[in-house]
A and B are shown apart, each in its own frame.
Chain A
Amino acid sequence: SQQGEEDPQALSIQEGENATMNCSYKTSINNLQWYRQNSGRGLVHLILIRSNEREKHSGRLRVTLDTSKKSSSLLITASRAADTASYFCATQGMLTFGGGTRLMVKP
Chain B
Amino acid sequence: DTGVSQNPRHKITKRGQNVTFRCDPISEHNRLYWYRQTLGQGPEFLTYFQNEAQLEKSRLLSDRFSAERPKGSFSTLEIQRTEQGDSAMYLCASSSFQGRETQYFGPGTRLLVL
Asked if A41 is an interface residue, CB under 8 A from chain B, the answer is yes
* Chain A 71-98 interface 0/1 with B at a Cβ cutoff of 8 Å (1 = within): 0000000000000000010100111111
Q: 1/0 contact trace for A1-14 toward B, CB 8 Å?
A: 01010000000000
For B42, the chain A residues whose CB sits under 8 A away are: 2, 4, 88, 90, 97-100
Q: Determine whether the beta carbon of A31 is less than 8 Å from that of B107.
A: no
Within 8 A of A (CB), among B10-52: 33, 35, 40-45, 48
Chain B interface category by residue count: 20 to 34
Q: How many residues of A contact B (CB 8 A)?
A: 23
**CB of A56 within 8 Å of the partner chain:** no
Query: Which residues of chain A are within 8 angstroms of B102 by Cβ–Cβ distance?
Result: 33, 45, 48
- Which residues of A from 37 to 95 have beta carbons under 8 Å from B? 40-45, 48, 88, 90, 93-95
- B residues within 8 A CB of A31? 101
> Out of B33, B41, B105, which one reaches A94, CB within 8 Å?
B33
Q: Which residues of B contact A (CB under 8 A)?
A: 4, 33, 35, 40-45, 48, 56, 58, 89, 91, 93, 100-108, 110
- Show 23 A/B contacts (Cβ-Cβ < 8 Å), sorted by A: A2-B42, A4-B42, A31-B101, A33-B102, A40-B89, A40-B110, A42-B4, A42-B91, A42-B106, A45-B104, A48-B102, A88-B42, A88-B43, A94-B45, A94-B56, A95-B33, A95-B35, A95-B43, A95-B103, A97-B43, A97-B44, A98-B42, A99-B41
